[in-house]
Structures are given as C-alpha cells and as structure tokens.
Amino acid sequence: MAYVPPKDTGKKKKIRYVLAVLFLCVLSIGVYFIIQSLTGEKKSEISICGFNKHQSEQLLKESYTETYEVSDYLFYGESLNLFQNPYDLEKMDPISRKTVELINLCSDETFTYTMESYVDRKIDVGELPSGLYSIYLNDQVVKKRLTYQEAIRSEPFYSVARNGKQKVITLIADKQLSEETLKDNTLFIKIEDVEIQEESVDVFLDPYGPRLVNGFAQPVGSANGMNEAEEMQKAAEKIKAYLESYGLRVAIAKEEALEPLSYYGFDGIMDRAYQSGAKYYIELGMNASSQSTVRGFEIYHSDQASGSLSNSIGYALSKNTPLQASNAYTWKSHSEGVASCPLIGSAGKEIYDSFPAIRESGGRATGAAQMNADAKTNASFVAEGNTGMYAISVNFIYLSNADDVALWKQKQDDILKQFSEAFVKAIHGKK
C-alpha cells in the first residue's frame, strides 16, 4: 500500500509565521535599544541631591507661571554669562543689569546676582556650593523662571581648585527631565564637588619674550643692563611656585625665555593657553619709554571686563611694596596704574582690546578670533567655544627708568610674592 502523506492543514505554516514575526519584533526592539544606548536618544533623567527619581521629581514641581527664555551662554574666567539673544560684542543684552536668583534645590539656599554689563560680573560659579540650582530673573518686578530655547546639556566646566577640590558645572535644560512637571526647557545649573583633575590648569602665565609678527621675531626690551624676556621668565617660575603653594595648577607658555611665539595660529601662545584649559591668563612684562623719568607698574584688563581683579592687585602692590603706580594713559582714560585699552576703530567704535594677549585669550566674550586676518587663524580653538580666560597684562616696571630697575633687582622676590598673594585673594583662593 502506497504511503499517503497527511493532509496539510496549514497549522505548521501558521506556527512558523508567528515565530518569525515574534523573532523580528524581538530583534527590532533589541536593535532600537542598542541604537538608543549608542546615540543617547533616550528620556533624560536627573538625580537631585542623591534622591531617588520620585523624590527628585517632587523637587522639580516648584510652580511658576512666567518664564524668560535665554539662547546663549559663556564663561569668562569663572563668571557665567547668560544672554537672551546670541552674544554680540557691540550690543548690550536685554538681561544685563537685571537681577537673578539661584535657588539650590538641595538646601533651599538662595544666591542673588546682578547681571552687570561686564563679563566678569555675572554669576560666580566658583563660589556656589554643590547642588542643583533653578534660576529666576526679576524682570520689571515680575519674577520669571529662566528657560533655554532648546534642550541642552553643556560640556562640563571645571572651576579653579580650592581646598583640594574642584567644582564641575553643567548647564541643563530639558523638559523631559520631568515631563509631568516641566512644560519648558527649564534651565538648571548643576554643581558637583569632585577630586582635582590632574590634567587641568587654573592659571596660564605668559612671560613676555620675542613675539612673531609676519614670521619675524620682534626684538625684546632691554635697558639699564636688564633683559625683559629673561627677567619675566624667571618671574613666571617664581609666581608659579607661589600660586602652586595655594593649590592652584599653573602652566607657563614657554620653557625658554627667548623662544619666539606668535599670538596666532597653531602652537602659538593662544593655542597653548586654550589647550591648557586655564581660567585665568596673566601676561608678565616690563614697559619702556623714551622719557627716562617715566616709571611704575601698569595692569591692563579687557574693556569688556571690570577692573576689579586689576585694582585688587594694584592696591596690594602700592600698599605692600615700594612700587608706585604709573600714569596709565589710554585712548579711553587716564588712571593710576590700572586701565583698559580698547582700539578706536572707524566711526569711533570701541570694540576690540588693543592688547592681543587680553583680546585673544577671552574667547567670544572679548571678540577673540574676529578682529583681523591674523586673529581669525585662532578660530579653530576659539570662535565657537563657550569659555574664555579672564586676562590681565602686567608691566611691573619701566626698564628705561634706572630707579625702577634698581628697585626690581633688590625687591623682586617680595614684589612677586605680594603680586601672587593679591591674585589668590582676589579669586578667593584657599590652601
């Protein structure tokens, strides 16, 4: 009797079809989660003050009705600047001169700042305790909560080292942090205390020496038996030692006094400074004049910044050392020892600082990589960033004045010690 196969009812085909569909579903879900983990495209979450998710969301439930949207931010030194409009060097932003309140959701502490017009007089993140901060702005007597125009999680910003610790600051704005309570990209500042990052630098010292201009090294100042480049290289080493005794991390632009460097382009002074990640930039130099009677110290700062740091150091030098303040004349003003020196351009506009060391080290805050073709060669490491160094340029004495030179030879160690201590005090440094 011939074998007759059983009649195909279609059940096996259906089973195989269902299994294939299930396999494809599982595979698709797996691929989706792999892509999510690789791209980071997942719902944002944040843990506040070590609380669990539910407790964190409860803290985010703080009610508010009015909002104020910002669209840009930058750091100048340790000063956090927030802007309603994209930062424009020539225009005062609407947020300037308004007051902001930072409320630490971890401790209920409130910190109030006036957003002054100077880029160094905004929110001092270096002094804030760890925590998560919501931000409010007083706008014509109306309290408004700050939001950001888009979801952001900024690159971590590291403060100067203090008390053997560092702070890492992150700006966060994402309504997905808690979809039930946040209807906008509400802006928060997250601050954490961390161990000191070995590779980071707090202060970048630039002892003046041969500067490359159009490929040629310019001569260094020399008079009364003293060479500016050699003296400032030694001064940088001494200041470095003083600052490091306070726990600060310090880098010097060059190892050899007579190494020629440019302010612009690859492996120039600015390239090295930005690579260091420093928050403060100090150019060290000496001045000279055709009039041998001119003498004294000068400290210059950006025209976009206040003179608070320069004035603190200048006051200490005048009070605690035999140095006297020079008559610092600039296009803009005359002051005793401390000044800014903006360029006067066409139509009388004062936009850029005339000192490349000050202008090019400050990032977008001071218009770095913008002024001319040379400056634009710094664009790759300056233009699009959100950080800039708080810069000052110091001339300790006039080389052309014999009394200044004699004073420097006798008292330089004390002068440099007083300079370093005044700087540390001004930035609230601690051992």
pLDDT tens track for 120-138? 999 999 999 999 999 999 9
pLDDT band, very low/low/confident/very high, at 383 (cuts 50, 70, 90): low
Of the given ranges (59-68, 161-170, 212-221), which has the lowest mean pLDDT?
Answer: 59-68
At residue 40, the pLDDT reads: 44
Going by pLDDT thresholds of 50, 70 and 90, the confidence category of residue 183 is: confident
Neighbours of 37 (CB within 10 A): 10
Rg (CA), the chain: 28
Judge whether residue 19 has pLDDT over 90. no
Residue appearing with tokens 């959100």? 386
* Confidence check: pLDDT of 20 > 60: no
What DSSP assignment string belongs to 263-331? Answer: SSSTTSHHHHHHHHT-SEEEEEEEE--SSTT---BEEEE-TTS-SHHHHHHHHHHHHHSS--B-EEE-S
Q: What is the mean pLDDT of residues 345-368?
A: 87
| pLDDT for 175 | 83
**Mean pLDDT value of segment 10-23:** 51
Q: In CATH, what number does 203-426 get? A: 3.40.630.40
Considering only CA atoms, which of 174, 214, 213, 208 is closest in space to residue 190? 174
Looking at residue 2, its pLDDT comes to 42
184 and 150 Cβ atoms separated by less than 8 Å: no
Instruction: Say what the pLDDT of residue 381 is.
Output: 87
Confidence (pLDDT) at 32: 46
136-181 residue pLDDT tens: 999 988 999 999 999 999 999 999 999 999 999 999 998 877 656 6
- For residue 5, list its beta bridge partners: none
Query: Residue 97: what pLDDT?
Result: 95
Which residue from 118, 126, 77, 74 is spatially nearest to 281, judged by alpha carbons? 77
The average confidence (pLDDT) of the chain is: 87
Residue 25 has pLDDT above 60, yes or no: no
Contact 160, 247 (CB under 8 A): no
> Environment class of residue 313 by beta-carbon count within 10 Å: exposed (0-12), middle (13-18) or buried (19+)?
buried
Q: ∠ at Cα 149 (146, 155), nearest 5°?
A: 85
How far apart are the C-alpha atoms of 271 and 356, rounded to whole Å? Answer: 13
Q: Can you give the pLDDT at residue 49? A: 77
pLDDT band at 379 (very low <50, low <70, confident <90, very high): very high
Nearest to 396 by CA among 320, 275, 296, 329: 296
Helix (H) or strand (E) holding 111: strand 110-114
Give the type of residue at 112: T
pLDDT tens per residue across span 27-39: 555 544 444 444 4
Position 4 pLDDT exceeds 60: no
Is the pLDDT at 87 greater than 70? The verdict is: yes
- Residue 113: is its pLDDT beyond 90? yes
Which two structure tokens, joined as six digits, stand for 234? 């030694």
| pLDDT band at residue 352 under the 50/70/90 scheme | very high
Is the pLDDT at 195 greater than 80? The verdict is yes
Residue 44: predicted pLDDT: 53
Instruction: Give the pLDDT confidence of 278-332 residue by residue, as tens digits.
Output: 999 999 999 999 999 999 999 999 999 999 999 999 999 999 999 999 986 655 6
The predicted pLDDT at position 264 comes to 96
- CB neighbours (10 Å) of residue 320? 15
Task: Map out the domains of the chain as residue ranges.
Answer: 53-195, 203-426
DSSP H helix total and E strand total for the chain? 9, 27
